[in-house]
Amino acid sequence: MPVRAGNGHDHTVPARLRMVEQQIVRRGVADAAVLDAMRTVPRHEFVPPESEVSAYDDGPLQIGHGQTISQPYIVALMTELIGPRPGMRVLEIGSGCGYQSAVLAACGCVVFAVEIDPELAAGSRERLARLGIDAVSVRRGDGALGWPEEAPFDACLVAAAPETPPPALFDQLRTGGRLVIPLGADEQTLYVFTRTRDGWERRRVLDVRFVPLVGLADDDPSA
């Protein structure tokens, strides 16, 4: 489903095009679908009003509840790493404000997004619906558990860092599926795991900085 990025007088289009050329293409992201999605999805719709002026800057932004919207380059890179294609079923963990979900949907993916914070999950649902993005399902839940009812997935993208990969995320990928995930506590590294018939292949990508992946027991002792 195409993203409704606003009317024909959207004054943010030049900033979005500059963002892609200066921050993303120059750093080596080349997947045409990813670049088109980054040019299309209105990032300013996913940040708090006071941060809209910085929506297309080269860095992460606070979105409340101790969470951030990732740097545009990191969003594009992680999307490219899963090898997006139309109809691909993607599990997204730590969906936050919904921006990464929207980029995946703009690449033609069908997205199942899990967010632990109930307010962020509700806000993401509302925002995606308002923008006409109907290829994303959002639920509040423990990201480490994935979404077993919808498995298997072609890929899993994790936007929060555990110290080790949650086993459930491996279990919910089909053979050939990719898990893109940051790992570590004080020092974090982005990895791509690919499921094979005999196990897993792992590739290190680069050093990153994400919020930690927490479970429901960490977020809400009564859950």
Residues labelled catalytic: 70
Tokens at residue 21, please?
A: 């050329």
| 3 state DSSP class of 126 | helix
Tokens at residue 75, please?
A: 């969003």
The rounded distance, in Å, linking the Cα atoms of 193 and 179 is 5
| 3 state DSSP class of 81 | helix
Tokens at residue 15, please?
A: 């900033």
Within 8 A by CB and 6+ apart from 5, the residues are: 40, 41, 42, 131
